[in-house]
Structure 1
């Protein structure tokens, strides 16, 4: 499943979901790299 995370104030990354972290962040994998950040929630239309 693809998930989008925020890794900085103006930087977001979209990748394959790997795991939940204890502090509310999630890990996603993009190619060979793993990024950890806070999930971006979709806004209701």
Structure 2
């Protein structure tokens, strides 16, 4: 599943969900690197 996270105040990264961290952040895989950040909430209509 693709997820988008924010890293810092203005950088967004989209990648494959790897896992959830205890502090509420999630990890995503982009290529061969894993990034962790706050998930961008989705809007359900």
**Normalization by structure 1: what TM-score?**
0.91
After superposition, residues 19-34 of structure 1 pair within 5 angstroms as 19-34=19-34
Return the structure number with greater strand share. 2
List gaps (5 residues or longer) in structure 2: none
Aligned residues: 45
List gaps (5 residues or longer) in structure 1: none
